Structure formats: C-alpha cells, structure tokens
Amino acid sequence: MALSDTTIRNAKPTDKPRKLSDEKGMFLLITPSGGELWRLKYRFGGKEKVLALGRYPDVGLKDARERRDAARELLANETDPGEARKASRADRAVKAANSFEAVARAWYAKAYADKAESTREKTMTRLEQDVFPMIGDIPVSAIKASDLRRVIERIEQRGALDIARRVHNYMGRALRYADSLDMVERDASASIDLNLILPARDTVHHAAMTDPVAVGGLMRAIDGFTGGFVTVCALKLSALTFVRPGELRHAEWSEIDLEGATWRIPGSKMKMKQDHIVPLSKQAVAILLDLHAITGRGAYVFPSERGGSRPISENTVNAALRRMGYTKEEMTAHGFRAMARTLLDEALGVSQDLIEHQLAHAVKDTNGRAYNRTTHLPKRRTMMQLWASYLDSLKSGADVIPIHGKAAA
C-alpha cells in the first residue's frame, strides 16, 4: 500500500528501527532517535542493495518518488544507481578541485605564505568579494579572457580602478600558476590590455595635513570625537606612532610592553618583513593603559565591535575621519605618516635618517648596510616623546617656533 503524507506525519519512533513501505521498493526508515530516512531497495548484478534518497521532511514524499523513479530508470538501462551516484560525486570533486577558485586558493596559499597579515587579508577579501562569485566555479581550463574582463568591468563600474588593476594581476598570477601545473594552455589574462579597458589613472597620493594650525585642529577634533572608545584610541595612536594603518589595527597586546614603553611589531606584519620597534611616548602609554582595561583580555589592542577575534576593519580610522568632517582629499589614515614625516623634519628639525627609520622605510647606513630594528633606539625614543609633546602643544593652540637645527640628530 502506498504511503501518504498523513501516515508519515503520524508515524512515531520506537525502540527499534522500523520501515514504512511505499511502492516499487521505496520505504521510509524511522530510527529510534526520530530520524526519517528515504531508502530504495533494489537488485543489481544478482545482489540486493539499498540507495539513500534523502531525509524526510527535507525531501518530501513526491520528491522521494521522483528520485526513486530516476534510479529505476538507470536500472532499466543496466546502470547501478549507487555506482552512478559515486561517479557523479567524483566528477563534482574533480570539477571543484579544478575550478578557478580552487586553483586561485592554491596559488594564494603559496604566494602569500610569507606576506604580512594585512596584505594576505586584503588580497583574499578582493578574491572572495570580486572574483570567486563571478568565475570561481568555472573550470580553470575553460577560463577565457572574456570571463576575466567581466570581473574587471564590474569593479570599474563602482569606480575602483586601482582594485580592478590589482584583481587583474591576481587572476593572471593564478592562471600562470595553473599553467605551471599544465592545467591550462595559456594565461587568458595576457589577452587583456588594461589601458584599453580602464580609464587612465592619475597618480594618487595619500592625503595628509602638514600645516601646524590644521594639525592642531585635527587633534582637537579627535579629542572631541563621539565615536567608540576603541576608535578614538586608534585615531590618537595613529597620530602618535605614525605606523601603517594595517600595522596599527593588527596590533596585539603580546607585542606591547607598557612598563618598558615599547611596541615590538614582528616582521610578519611589516611591509619590509623585518621586525620593527616603536618607542611609546608617555601620552601613548597613557592611552594604551586606559584601553587595556577594556580590551586587554583579548588578543587585539583594537578589536572589532563585531567580535574580539578580529581587529577593527581597514576602514575604521578613515570612516572616523569622514565623520569628523575631513574629506578623503584632506586627510586619510595613511596620512598620519606623511604628517609626522613632514613636521618632524620641517618644524622640529629631526634628522631625516631617524624619521625614515621610525617610518620603517628601507634606510641604509653610509656603508650600504640596512639598519637593524634597534639602530638609534634611544634617539628615536627621544624623537617620539618630542613628537607627542609637539602634538599636545598644537592641540592647545600654543605658538610653536620651528627648530632650525637638527633636533634628536
């Protein structure tokens, strides 16, 4: 007798598995735990076999019968439906392993293994947001230039020309990786001339404030900012430490010695892949002490409001600057570095070697040797305190007389 939906709904589990038979070998297996599983009993090659058809109610009676009939059609054509399913799964696994996304992730794992965490995060975010949703499922051997062009043009439509160029580079590198494994005949990205597709780009510099009066206004605006406390601290320490935005937001408490007033950034997080030391001024230590009372139990100094397992986003400081009324042409998160570099030199007369070293640029001595992380550390500590006190004086509106010698030289 054929099953009905009412019979199935009224069926109750017992202490042993039991079957509710339908038609043509199909039955519903009711387990003691309450699970209800569709099964098809059939014979193939002289052996009795059972094929899983799904779980009720995810698979209803009508759908289960359609799956049963499809399996019986395979049997009529002398094909074992169980083996056919295994082959189909294997095909899907092969296709998935050879998809553009799978190959791109394999390339990324090798190419970005030693990159800074911020760089890895940015690259994977662009792939996951802009590339994989559009072409990730396509077998890498079937990728055409037109597929890549669709990705690039979609990014262009939102005005992100620099990202479009970067993504073109990522896709090309992934395809060249596939070519090295004999998975493709050629790199399809080589057929794309970005100069013909994208508008010419102007050289873009990170906006920064370098006028002392304007900087004083900025510091007062940060003091009066009504955003979250973690964001306010990130703004203040952006100015006081002038590290790169990615280095700031990925700061961890394990790297900071408050008693020794030192922040040691591991090379894995640095652009130049070398450990970097940031001497902390008294003002910076005071901010971090207040912040530690709130975020000190977690790993990150600046945890995301969405969860302490992640740091604040790369846009947090820039978004705060916009809320304070500063446009992207006036000031950016990266602009704190240019602000410090200019004023330390022009207003405070600090040696450019000290400034460049504290900016973690590739500075070399007169013999062509790169300075190590502790080079001129006492002088750099003096410089960082001088800088913090200078910012305080600008914030208070005091007249600051430029130093025409070379302070902290």
Report the chain's mean pLDDT, rounded to a whole number: 87
CATH architecture, domain defined by 100-197: Orthogonal Bundle (1.10)
How does pLDDT run across 345-377, given as a tens digit for each residue? 999 999 888 998 899 886 555 444 455 567 789
Predicted confidence at residue 291, as pLDDT, reads 96
Catalytic residues: 244, 271, 334, 337, 361, 371
Look at residue 199 in the predicted model and tell me its pLDDT: 78
Question: Residue 405: which pLDDT band, with cuts at 50, 70 and 90?
Answer: very low
Query: 212-396, superfamily in CATH?
Result: Intergrase catalytic core (1.10.443.10)
CB–CB of 258/285 below 8 Å? yes
pLDDT value of position 148: 95
- Provide the 3-class DSSP secondary structure of residue 87: helix
| Predicted TM-score of the model (pTM) | 0.54
- Comparing 263 with 267, the larger pLDDT belongs to 263
Residue 289 binned pLDDT confidence (cut-offs 50, 70, 90): very high
Range picked from 49-53, 208-212, 326-330 for highest mean pLDDT: 49-53
Proportion of the chain above pLDDT 70, given as a percent: 90
Name the fold adopted by 5-92: Double Stranded RNA Binding Domain (3.30.160)
The torsion of the CA quartet 154, 160, 166, 169, rounded to 10 degrees, works out to 30
- Quick one: pLDDT band at residue 404, thresholds 50, 70, 90? very low
Instruction: Answer whether residue 37 shows pLDDT above 70.
Output: yes
Predicted confidence at residue 375, as pLDDT, reads 75
pLDDT band at 397 (very low <50, low <70, confident <90, very high): confident
Domain parsing of the chain, residue ranges: 5-92, 100-197, 212-396
pLDDT computed for residue 162 by the predictor: 83
| Residue of 214, 230, 216, 200 lying closest to 311 (CA atoms) | 230
Omega within 30 of 0 (cis) for the link into 13:
no
* pLDDT (average), residues 257-275: 90
Contact, 40 vs 50, CB < 8 A? yes
pLDDT of residue 389: 96
With tokens 């050879």, the residue in question is: 98
pLDDT confidence of 406, banded at 50, 70, 90? very low
Query: What is the side-by-side strand order in the sheet with 26-30?
Result: 18-21, 26-30, 36-44, 47-56
pLDDT of residue 267: 86
Taking 60 as the threshold, does the pLDDT of residue 295 lie above it? Answer: yes
Cβ contacts of 261 within 8 Å, gap of 6 or more: 279, 280, 281, 282, 284, 285, 381
DSSP 8-state secondary structure symbol assigned to residue 128: I
Tokens of 123: 């690259």
Mean local confidence (pLDDT), 272-280: 89
